[in-house]
Amino acid sequence: MKKLIFLLGICLPLIMTAQSLEPVWETPRVMQTPESVFYNSQDNLIYVSNINGNPTKKDGNGFISLLNPDGKIIKLKWVQQGLNAPKGMAMKGQYLYVTDIDRLAEIDIRNQKIVNFYPAPGAEFLNDTQTGDNGMIYVTDTKKGAIYILDNNRLYPWIIDPLLKGANGLAWENGKLLVGTDDYLLQVDPTNKTLKKLVPNKGGIDGLVPLGNGKYLVSDWAGKIQIISPNEKSVILSNTTAEKINAADLGYIPGNKLVLIPTFFDNRIIAKQITGL
């Protein structure tokens, strides 16, 4: 009996700290190929980029949706004029920056309209974008294997490197730019453009969220969401690949550990809370 109690004492903490994703809310299937979700912590609002068609076609069908943190759709087509296939989003001041195939759109949040398009010379498939603490805006080109930078109102190639094959998800952590690629989670020093392999990855990284303590929440578009780390074994939180429910560019509300999942072809945003973190 004492041995059994002792074993239970060991196992119980492991059970209690097991990480998982628990459903909280989901939208109806009224989104149109949602690719990315971005949480605006300043205004406590959620933006969703909707491709609404072919991810590479300049058809003018794209739009941005506006949601509250409970999943209520405030306005399905909040901003839409001139967008083709919007994807990754980032904020700087009162502006929302959105990738759009071969250019970056600048949206005035207060006035709810596009005020600028920044063309990206030679771009093939702009995907995610991230604002650095240094004020710069970075953009990945997945097909080109490159990172662009918006500097002085000019968007131009910043780094082109074989290690950036399939470059997609971006994040910022401790003064460094993080880049998810087909093969690695990379860390980039913005002062000298040095690339460092941070975590090996068996599959592309679409959504990328630093969780602290060397842990990163990532999605692979096909449907797998996991926590990866340089020092620990990866933890798969969910995998809906077989059900053909995608997990594209994740949003995240850190206050309640809420993961916002754009399901792409499934046309929903699903919110799930990380437990045991």
Is 87 part of any domain?
yes
Local confidence band at 17 (pLDDT 50, 70, 90 cut-offs): low
Provide the CATH number for the domain around residue 147.
Answer: 2.120.10.30
Give the residue with greater pLDDT, 1 vs 134.
134
Is 8 part of any domain?
no
Of 118, 57, 209, 198, residue with least CA distance to 217 = 209
What gap in Å lies between CA 182 and CA 200, rounded to an integer?
10
What gap in Å lies between CA 6 and CA 11, rounded to an integer?
9
Residue 62's domain comprises: 21-275
User: Is a pLDDT exceeding 60 seen at residue 88?
Assistant: yes
Q: Residue 133: how many CB atoms within 10 A of its CB?
A: 11
Is 45 part of any domain?
yes
Number of helices and strands (H, E) in the chain?
Answer: 1, 24
Give the ranges where the chain is alpha helix by DSSP (H): 2-16
What gap in Å lies between CA 80 and CA 105, rounded to an integer?
11
Is 10 part of any domain?
no
What gap in Å lies between CA 274 and CA 251, rounded to an integer?
13
Is 49 part of any domain?
yes
Domain count of the chain? Answer: 1
Q: Residue 25: how many CB atoms within 10 A of its CB?
A: 15
Is 198 part of any domain?
yes
Q: Answer for the pair 180, 188: CB distance below 8 angstroms, yes or no.
A: no
pTM above 0.85, yes or no: yes
Local confidence band at 2 (pLDDT 50, 70, 90 cut-offs): very low
What gap in Å lies between CA 239 and CA 237, rounded to an integer?
7
Q: What pLDDT is recorded for position 240?
A: 97
Tokens of 154: 């000019």
In angstroms, the Cα distances linking 9 to 12, 13, 20, 72 are: 6, 7, 21, 43
Give me the mean pLDDT over the 152-162 stretch.
97
Mean per-residue pLDDT of the chain = 94
Local confidence band at 277 (pLDDT 50, 70, 90 cut-offs): confident
User: Of all residues in the chain, what percent carry a pLDDT higher than 70?
Assistant: 94
Is 13 part of any domain?
no
Tokens of 3: 């041995």
Tokens of 128: 């995610």
Is 3 part of any domain?
no
Q: Answer for the pair 100, 126: CB distance below 8 angstroms, yes or no.
A: yes
